[in-house]
Amino acid sequence: MRIGTSGFVGARLREARDIRGQTAVGLAELTGLSRQAISQYETGRATPSPAVLDALADRLNIPVQFFTRPERDLARGTLFYRSMASTTKGARLRAEGRLSWLRDIVSYLSGHVALPPSNFPDLGLPDNPLLLSDSDIEAAADDVRRYWNMRDAPIGNMVTLLENQGAVVARDELGADSLDGLSEFAPDEGRPYIIIATDKGSPVRWRFDAAHELGHIVLHGALKPDTLTKSAEFKRIEEQAHRFAGAFLLPMTAFTDEFFAGNLDAFRPIKSKWKVSIGVIIKRARQADLISEEAERKLWINYARRGWRKKEPYDDTMEPEMPRLLRRSFELLFEHGNQSPEDVLAALALPARDIERLTGVEPGFMGTDYAPVSLLASRDPFTADPMRPPADVIRLPLRPRTR
């Protein structure tokens, strides 16, 4: 008689496989199962035995408990992928899965800590973003700055700004060079989620990615998932989010004041000050009509000749902007909230390393490697009584100091 696993949820196996970037055939090979067996488990036509489930969990590096969690029932908003057309469906599924895990983590944290309320403006823009002109987008970027009481000055930390306004931001490797990030406005929470892909890029590029996702949130919040069907329409909303990001990070009026010459070297201090790439500065200069089309073309040629397509000046010296909200939440939870890493791992049934990556905490923060430590008898007033039993061993987590 075959023994299955009670409570096994096939959709969870599919999710785990997507997130790990495994095909059904690949997982079958890794586990010694047939592709058909994997398919039957995923569609609920069969359940794996405990031993097989252990093997699946081991190969996918996911706790066994994950597979017996109820099927995910997230209220999904429109997902915006900042990606090139070459991004595979698998890469998108993986990214979407990572976003679901991030939402799980935030859902858990929200039960214990008060996260900043969402404070993103509704600019009253048309539901159909294709009606938006470039000047509408420039105005929208200005409006968001005004809404958040920002001057036309450089933004110190784009990620912190978003977090302070209630967004959840994560940096994660999405496993695809062509995917720069994704965002979703979670309708049930009224809170935006942003994942910035760190597979490649530079600190200014990641900053721009964050601003790009902000563009989707404010410009395309009313967009329904099935509204856009043509690739040209997708391309247009990507261009709009790009335009917004440039306008938000480098407002036109301030930039016009800073700009004095269409010269790559003259752009270097602007990059240092505003923390935008020189590529973005070239585009902004053209958008502001500060340089001609011909001058822009020459700048791009010179830009490529200098090797700046691969690496621009200061890319090595600027620090990446790290999300802090979730890390701080966990620190608070562990210090004052009567919760431990074990509690979190048990509640979420997610791998410790994945939680660490998605929340920006140091490797080992959620770890379960402990060194036994005991209080010294002579220092412990409770053990001053010689009749009292020796001190209990307490277990302190080995985790790096947080900054």
Binding site for another protein (CB under 8 A): 257-258, 260-263, 265-266, 268-269, 290, 295
Amino acid identity, position 223: L
Minimum CB–partner distance for residue 262 and another protein (Å): 5
CB 44 within 8 A of CB 37: no
The CA distance from 188 to 96, in Å, is 17
- Of the pair 162, 252, the CB lying nearest another protein is at 252
Mapping DSSP to helix (H, G, I), strand (E, B) and coil, where does residue 338 land?
coil
- Of the pair 64, 290, the CB lying nearest another protein is at 290
Q: Which two tokens stand for residue 315?
A: 């890319």
Minimum CB–partner distance for residue 259 and another protein (Å): 9
- Of the pair 122, 289, the CB lying nearest another protein is at 289
- Of the pair 90, 262, the CB lying nearest another protein is at 262
- In DSSP terms, which residues pair with 169 in a beta bridge? 194
- Of the pair 127, 265, the CB lying nearest another protein is at 265
Cα torsion angle, 326, 331, 336, 339, sign: positive
112 CB neighbour count, 10 Å cutoff: 17
Q: What are the residues whose beta carbons fall under 8 Å from the beta carbon of 254, sequence distance 6 or more? A: 152, 153
The CA distance from 108 to 189, in Å, is 13
CA nearest to 162, candidates 112, 197, 212: 212
Q: What are the residues whose beta carbons fall under 8 Å from the beta carbon of 280, sequence distance 6 or more? A: 204, 208, 245, 246, 249, 250
CB 288 within 8 A of CB 243: no
The CA distance from 16 to 25, in Å, is 14
Q: Which two tokens stand for residue 279?
A: 């590529």
- Of the pair 260, 382, the CB lying nearest another protein is at 260
Q: Which two tokens stand for residue 164?
A: 């302070």
- Of the pair 262, 337, the CB lying nearest another protein is at 262
